[in-house]
Amino acid sequence: MKLTKQKPDVQMRIGQQVTLTIRSIGINGEGIGYYKRKIVFVDKALPGEVVHAEITDVKEKYASARLIKVIEKSPARVQPPCPVYEECGGCSLQHMDYQAQLISKQELVLEALQKYARLENPPVAPTIGMENPWSYRNKAQFQVGRQDGKLVAGLYQTGSHQLIDLEGCRVQHEATNQIVQKAKRVLEQLGIPEYDERKRTGVVRTIVARVAFATGETQLTLVTATQEIPREKELVLELRYQLPELVSIAQNINPKKTSLVFGETTRQLWGKPSIAEKLGDLSFDLSARAFFQLNPEQTQKLYREVQKAAGLTGKELVFDLYCGTGTIALWLAPHAREVRGIEIIPEAVEDARRNAERNGAANASFHTGRAEVLMPKWAKQGLRPDVVVVDPPRTGLDGALIDSLLAVQPQKIVYVSCNPSTLAKDISLLLERYELVSVQPLDMFPHTAHVESVSLLVRRCCKKV
């Protein structure tokens, strides 16, 4: 018997130059091509392009490469408007036409469901985008440092400790850009030193600016490594003079060596402790550390899609799992008999309860704990949900929670996802008892590879338990 030799693994080396045809976009916005059947990720390459690239990293199953030259250009390729786009890394798709971005995000969700949930034709709708996909972020959170003797504030370059100064970031609301630039100028004028994490000296670590889209109120928070701020009174007076639109100036103290931005203590230096924001008919007070969606315009569209998928008539008991500060639960409350939110973080539950009281949502309650524990416990007491909404982190649903959903069997599951891969893997397990009826992608963060989606799963009524 003649033995056939197995094909050896493709030998690639760092520094090797290759010519590739780009087939699709990856979850981080990189182009995906194949070199002798081995996947190669090429940063800044677009589907349909033929590119010349240099291999920068080689793994067993894939390689990464740097784009050297575009030989055949995609019609979707555009000139990025941001002058520091190549260095910053905050956006990954500014070089792609916006309509093409929306199509690629739909394809990301579609391909994930085909691959992991083994669905041949998943019901994925076109991505809901923005009419104006710029100036959409309501919060800027910029690290402070010094370069060439100049105070800078911005983001660290991807994979490095090089701080990129961001003056006029195109995806930030103009108000947050103004606050950061003027705050930086005042700190420089008064000689208040930036924090140096290597030497563990200095004061100001981060400038955080937030604007409420509905009311126009603005808030500035200076995150410091020290309890005291030198020349504090002068600082507050000068900030108020330079930024008369501010209604809140706060100091957050974070002395720890950590990648987390905020510390545990916040001091109000001047003004109100929070700013007022609205989503639809709901109102919220946002303190310096309060979590709130970064793109309010798209958030309302997202919540409308959740409401549409839930199909509430006013008679349903709804459970909102991973409810955070309760925004989805409160959006659904006027349309349901009762809504119960479950969240593991006690501070978020306290915020959710305050938000419910502020909005007069008497039929919404919020509970601290693990959903996979509380949901079956309530089911044994006769409280079985008609609709369950899940909005998990990027890692997706906990295995125990999936088991709990399959045991409790709500009529509908509305799955809000920020990661197509984990969404598809979770749906593959839920298909045991549920049918996937619809998937609606939404573009929450234009010019990045991020895609949100709302999926509706309906229980197979005739399935034997």
Annotated catalytic residues are: 418
Strand 282-287 to strand 50-58: parallel, antiparallel, or no bridges (unpaired)?
unpaired
Secondary structure class of 206 (helix, strand, coil): strand
**Do 117 and 424 meet the contact criterion of CB atoms below 8 Å apart?**
yes
For residue 32, the tally of other CB atoms under 10 A from its CB is: 18
* Burial of 445 (C-beta count, 10 Å sphere; 0-12/13-18/19+): buried
Structure tokens at 165: 């100064």
Structure tokens at 193: 């030193």
**Do 318 and 385 meet the contact criterion of CB atoms below 8 Å apart?**
yes
DSSP structural state of residue 68:
E
Q: Which residue, chain included where needed, has tokens 């003079």?
A: 241
Amino acid found at 364: A
Phi/psi zone of residue 461: left (φ > 0), alpha (ψ -120 to 50 degrees), beta?
A: alpha
* CA angle, residues 415, 418, 419, in degrees to nearest 5: 100
Structure tokens at 100: 């093409």
Count Cα atoms within 13 angstroms, Cβ side, for 401: 23
**What's the Rg (C-alpha) of the chain?**
25
Question: In terms of Cα–Cα distance, which of 354, 329, 355, 331 is closest to 342?
Answer: 329
Distance between CA atoms of residues 152 and 145, nearest Å? 5
Amino acid found at 284: F
Identify any residues that bridge with 365 across adjacent strands, giving them in sequence order: 340
Helix (H) or strand (E) holding 307, with range, is helix 296-310
Q: Phi, psi (5° rounding) for residue 278?
A: -130, 150
**Do 84 and 163 meet the contact criterion of CB atoms below 8 Å apart?**
no
Identify any residues that bridge with 412 across adjacent strands, giving them in sequence order: 387, 458
Long-range contacts of 3-11 (CB under 8 A, 24+ apart): 9/60, 10/35, 10/36, 10/37, 10/38
Distance between CA atoms of residues 29 and 367, nearest Å? 38
Amino acid found at 337: R
Question: In terms of Cα–Cα distance, which of 155, 193, 192 is closest to 171?
Answer: 155
